[in-house]
Structure 1
Amino acid sequence: MTYRILFVCLGNICRSPTAEAVTRAKAKALGIDLTLDSAGTEGWHQGKPPYGPMSDVAKAAGYDMSTLRARQVTPADRSEFDLIIAMDAQNQRDLAHLEVPVARFTDYAPHTGAEYVPDPYYTRDFEGALALIETCADGLLTTLADKPR
């Protein structure tokens, strides 16, 4: 079974595309078959590439986000994906209209004590966001690897 996962943040230019790229690379290395996408709860940046500083930090760590483009969540996403993962509580609340369960990415890394992935667009901590996203991706992939197919 191929799991279909959608990562969601506010504008789909920092956290969710990074989560998509990191999880894709880590899943490929582990031989886990996933279909991944990312989207924003808002459509301000539709069609635009990930935010330059976030993209640069990800690229330096070996994650390519050059082909990703921002899009907004749509009602069709509720049936297109097996799992929808929000970066923070506000994103999670903003997805309530989909009427499907939405996990928080940090649920997959409870040992970090983080309740959400801080938005580096505002905090300017791109390295910290990437490190937390990598940890959450590891936890997610461990969870998926343990599920029967």
Structure 2
Amino acid sequence: MRRRNLFALTAVLLVLLVLSVVTQVWILPSEVRSVVAVFPEVNPIAIAIACWQVAAVIGFKLVHLARDHGLDASNYGWIQAMIGCILAFIVLVLAAFITLNIMGYTPPGVMLGLIGGGILAMIAAGSLALFLGTRPLARQYWKS
């Protein structure tokens, strides 16, 4: 991977991580307090944001590993951890979607956000799983 691409990827990951931290530390607590007063089931939203933050930190680690000596089979555990975080996010989004439908609270902004976030997470998890499945090193690594 070229240095310029690695720098751009690192910058994007850093911006996403900072935005999610700002959201979780300043914006989310005030919004969650007001919504939890009416709908106590939505409290786990903070966990969903934490899943994305963990995935971003793992992404930083992988970018630095790729920059230093490339990705090999020994780094695939990090990718699996990232897939696990994204799958946890998908489960939380699905639970929130079902709960909000049962409760009858389905404003378009919330539902479109849940659907969009879930679709993006499924694309990310699928892409990472496809990456792992198509690499010959991955198959050799897991056989030993």
Shorter-chain TM-score bucket reads under 0.3
| TM-score w.r.t. length of structure 2 | 0.27
Which has the bigger relative contact order, CA under 8 A and spacing at least 6?
Answer: 1
Higher helix share: 2
| TM-score w.r.t. length of structure 1 | 0.26
Larger Rg belongs to: 2
Higher strand share: 1
